[in-house]
Amino acid sequence: MIAKLANAAIELRGVTRSFGSNVAVNQLSLKISPGEIFALVGPDGAGKTTLIRLICGALSIDEGALSVGGVDVVAQTATVQASLGYMPQRFSLYPDLSVMENLQFYGDIFGVPANEFKRISKKLLEEFSLWSFRTRLAEELSGGMKQKLALACTLAHSPAILLLDEPTAGVDPSSRREFWRILYRINRNGTTVFVSTPYMDEADRANRIGFILHGSLVDCGTPEELKGALRGEVVQITCSDRAAARRALRDESCVRSVEVFGETLHALVVSAATTIPALEQGLVAYGVHDAVLTKIQPTLEDAFVARLTA
C-alpha cells in the first residue's frame, strides 16, 4: 500500500497509448494533487476511459512516464493497484449476491482482515444509506442504489485514490446529486478523486477540470478559470422556433458558434452589446419574430463547446 502520497497523487508526463493506427492518448501530461477532485470531460472516443485504465495499470503505456503517489505504475503495478479504487463504466455487481455479500467479495479480493472489514462495511453501508438493505439481492436494487453499492465495493479496501469512469451515466438526477454528496464526504477525509463525466454540472463541482479531445488535454483549470478564458461573450436566445433561429444565427458572420442549451440557444460572439441589435434584425428577417436575446455569464458547457468548435 502507498501509505502517504508523495508530491503528486497522479502524474503523467508525455504519456501516449495507441491501438494500431488509432492514438487514444497523445503525449498527455497532467499532475493531480493529493486530496483533489479532478474531473475529466470529453466526447465519446476522446480517450477518457483509456486514460483511466492507464493510470490503474490495466493498460500499458507506449511512451512517457506515469506514477501514482510517487510510485511508477509500470515498474510497480501491484503496489499502485492496492492503493487505487477503480470503478469502470460498467461495474460488475453480482446480481444473485446480497448487498453485504457483494461488498464482502471485494473485501476478500483485497485481503481486508475480517475485523477491519466488519468495521468498514458497516460504516460504508450506513454512510451510503444501504445498511437496512444489506440482505437484499443486488438485482433488486434501484439504479441509484446499485451505483452506491458499486462505489462502496470500490472503497472496501480504503484506497487513497478513486478512479471513477462516468459513474453516474444513466442515473436519475436525484441519485446523481446523492452520489456526489457521498463523493464530497469521501474527499473531505483526504481521498483523491479522479472522475470522468459527461455531465457539465458534475464537472463544475470539481476542484479542477481537464478537457480532452482526440487523446490530448486541450484545457485544464478550475471551473472559474475555464469559463473566464472563453474568448468572447455569450448571448442567450429564447424563442418558439429554435431550429429556425439556429439556422439564421449560423448565417451571421459575427456568430462564432451557436448551440442548443435546453430550451434556449447560446451564441458565442465577440461583443454582445454591439451584436445583439444586428442579430435581432437578422432573426426577424428570417421569420423569427418572438426572439428574446440576453447577454449571460458563460457556463462550463459554453467553454467546452468553444473548444470543440475552435
The pLDDT tens digits for 214-232 are 999 999 999 999 999 898 9
The Cα–Cα gap between 83 and 251 comes to 53
Does this chain's domain 1-83+160-176+193-227 share its CATH topology with 230-309?
Answer: no
Say yes or no to pLDDT of 246 above 90.
yes
Domain boundaries, the chain: 1-83+160-176+193-227, 90-158, 230-309
4-39, pLDDT tens digit by residue?
A: 445 799 999 999 999 999 999 999 999 999 999 999
> What confidence category does residue 2 fall into, taking pLDDT thresholds of 50, 70 and 90?
very low
87-123, pLDDT tens digit by residue?
A: 998 878 999 999 999 999 999 999 999 999 999 999 9
| One-character DSSP codes across 177-226 | HHHHHHHHHHHHTT-EEEEE-S-HHHHTTSSEEEEEETTEEEEEE-HHHH
Query: What does the pLDDT average to over 140-163?
Result: 94
pLDDT for 307 equals 82
Classify domain 230-309 at the CATH topology level. Answer: Alpha-Beta Plaits (3.30.70)
Burial status of residue 274 (CB atoms within 10 A of its CB: 0-12, 13-18, 19 or more): exposed
Contacts of 35 (CB under 8 A, 6+ apart): 9, 187, 190, 191, 192
Whole-model pTM: value is 0.89
262-279, pLDDT tens digit by residue?
A: 899 999 999 999 999 999
Give CATH superfamily name and number for 1-83+160-176+193-227: P-loop containing nucleotide triphosphate hydrolases (3.40.50.300)
